């Protein structure tokens, strides 16, 4: 987004308004003062803000200014809106009775109105013949064994972090593309190829290469507009949230599994939602920390891994440990470290992808 508004005037204020036209897809998601908003362009070129974390589903506001503004400008608009909210109703003061005017009025497959299938919907073995699935999203879905014939896949995108695990294949027109994807990612991210090093020296070198990659990422974020670390693209974690999750991953697999600490978790850690079963996350804070606090916690966990690797031996790497996801199952110290490295590289890739998207919008 541009540093100065490209629509409206510099001193224009956010005013709750009826959603105009049919809003487009979510451009970015912003966390402001602990509240989460999805930003879209409306049907007349202005901006709609969906209050995702608000108490009233579908409630939000709109401005006549275009979405192509700085992060700071969006944050200011959101704060003006929040300042007008009645905390007892979650609506603009004295306007709760007309709140339906600010509910999204579009139909079809946008936002909350999109058909959703979850674990309770058994679609295994289903056939989709001449079905129009354009724009559909599959999140945390099991597509193992899916067969597609004569399909249109223009603009399709697959992100499968476990693509390289186990003996399997992903064939496109008869060609297994997994080896090509793996090789290309290794080319794009120097050091990634060593993420499964087996000996102490190899693991130390792998960790050092990984942290060099992250150092470049930190420099990139620092050079971008203020607030970039809190920008979410397409509903994914922001850069700051990604770092918080990596703090938790280190605590889970090093502090908990390897070092066997009774309570290994830093309060700043962030779970993916599915991780809370099987281990105690009661120490995690519910408030959103500042970016500087996140950086401090992250630096501490990076140092913790580095210090452990500095003295680990081949015998220590082979030592058995309880799998934190399945305590009845044993793993090794080495495999726990491999999980940390896999998590780090995958989230580094996600972060690079989202920063590319943010920069593209800034230059548009």
CATH number at residue 205: 1.20.120.450
Half-sphere exposure of 165 (CA within 13 A, CB side): 8
Q: Residue 212's pLDDT band (boundaries 50, 70, 90)?
A: very high
Question: Containing domain of residue 288, as a range?
Answer: 195-363
Tokens in use for 299? 């630096």
Q: If you average pLDDT over each of 36-45, 103-112, 282-291, which comes out highest?
A: 282-291
Q: If you average pLDDT over each of 9-13, 266-270, 281-285, 318-322, which comes out highest?
A: 318-322
User: So what's the pLDDT on residue 191?
Assistant: 94
Section 97-111 average pLDDT? 36
User: So what's the pLDDT on residue 45?
Assistant: 66
Examine the fold and report which residue of 105, 124, 141 is the final residue of a domain before the chain moves on: 105
pTM for this predicted structure: 0.67
Q: Residue 48's pLDDT band (boundaries 50, 70, 90)?
A: confident
Q: Is the pLDDT of residue 116 over 70?
A: no
* Residue 38 host element (H or E): strand 35-41
Q: Is the pLDDT of residue 98 over 80?
A: no
Section 307-320 average pLDDT? 97
Q: If you average pLDDT over each of 127-136, 271-280, 288-297, which comes out highest?
A: 288-297
For the chain, give the percent of residues with pLDDT over 70.
81
User: So what's the pLDDT on residue 93?
Assistant: 63
Q: Which range, of 124-133, 159-168, 271-280, 305-314, averages the lowest pLDDT?
A: 271-280
Q: Contact at 8 Å (CB) between 169 and 145?
A: no
User: So what's the pLDDT on residue 176?
Assistant: 94
Residue 251 neighbours by CB under 8 Å, 6+ apart: 264, 265, 266, 269, 301
User: So what's the pLDDT on residue 32?
Assistant: 87
Same domain? 271 vs 207: yes
Of 52, 68, 69, which is closest to residue 60 (Cα–Cα)? 52
* Burial (CB count <10 Å: 0-12, 13-18, 19+), residue 217: middle
Q: In b/e form, how buried is each residue of 14-52, taking b as 16+ CB within 10 angstroms?
A: bebbebbeebeebbbbbbbeebbbbbbbbeeebbbbbbb
User: So what's the pLDDT on residue 162?
Assistant: 80
Q: Is the pLDDT of residue 363 over 80?
A: no
Instruction: Confirm whether 247 is domain-assigned.
Output: yes
Same domain? 200 vs 313: yes
Same domain? 93 vs 202: no
Same domain? 35 vs 176: no
Q: Is the pLDDT of residue 177 over 90?
A: yes
Of 295, 311, 191, 281, which is closest to residue 244 (Cα–Cα)? 295
Same domain? 206 vs 326: yes
Q: In the chain, how many domains are there?
A: 3
Mean pLDDT of the chain: 82
User: So what's the pLDDT on residue 175?
Assistant: 96
Q: Contact at 8 Å (CB) between 37 and 60?
A: yes
Section 137-163 average pLDDT? 87
Same domain? 35 vs 55: yes
């Amino acid at each position: 987004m541009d540093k100065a508004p490209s629509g409206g005037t510099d001193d224009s204020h956010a005013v709750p308004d009826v959603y105009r036209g049919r809003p487009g897809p979510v451009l970015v998601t912003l966390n402001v003062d602990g509240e989460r908003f999805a930003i879209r362009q409306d049907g007349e070129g202005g901006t709609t803000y969906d209050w995702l974390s608000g108490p009233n589903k579908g409630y939000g506001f709109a401005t006549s200014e275009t979405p192509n503004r700085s992060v700071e400008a969006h944050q200011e608009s959101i704060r003006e809106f929040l300042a007008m909210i009645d905390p007892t109703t979650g609506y603009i003061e004295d306007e709760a009775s007309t709140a339906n005017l600010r509910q999204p009025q579009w139909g079809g497959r946008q936002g909350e109105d999109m058909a959703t299938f979850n674990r309770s919907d058994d679609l295994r073995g289903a056939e989709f013949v001449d079905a129009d699935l354009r724009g559909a999203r599959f999140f945390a879905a099991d597509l193992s064994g899916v067969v597609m014939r004569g399909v249109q896949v223009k603009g399709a995108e697959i992100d499968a972090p476990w693509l390289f695990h186990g003996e399997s294949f992903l064939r496109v027109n008869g060609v297994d593309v997994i080896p090509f994807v793996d090789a290309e990612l290794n080319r794009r991210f120097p050091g990634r190829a060593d993420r499964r090093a087996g000996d102490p020296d190899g693991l130390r070198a792998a960790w050092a290469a990984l942290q060099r990659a992250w150092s470049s990422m930190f420099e990139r974020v620092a050079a971008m507009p203020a607030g970039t670390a809190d920008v979410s693209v397409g509903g994914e974690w922001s850069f700051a949230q990604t770092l918080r999750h990596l703090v938790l991953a280190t605590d889970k697999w090093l502090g908990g599994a390897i070092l066997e600490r009774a309570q290994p978790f830093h309060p700043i850690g962030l779970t993916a939602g599915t991780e809370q079963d099987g281990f105690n996350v009661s120490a995690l804070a519910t408030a959103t920390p500042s970016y500087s606090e996140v950086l401090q916690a992250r630096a501490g966990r990076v140092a913790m891994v580095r210090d452990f690797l500095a003295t680990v031996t081949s015998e220590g790497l082979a030592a058995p440990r309880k799998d934190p996801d399945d305590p009845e199952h044993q793993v090794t110290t080495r495999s726990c470290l491999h999980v940390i490295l896999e998590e780090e590289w995958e989230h580094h890739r996600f972060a690079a992808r989202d920063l590319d998207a943010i920069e593209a919008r800034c230059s548009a």
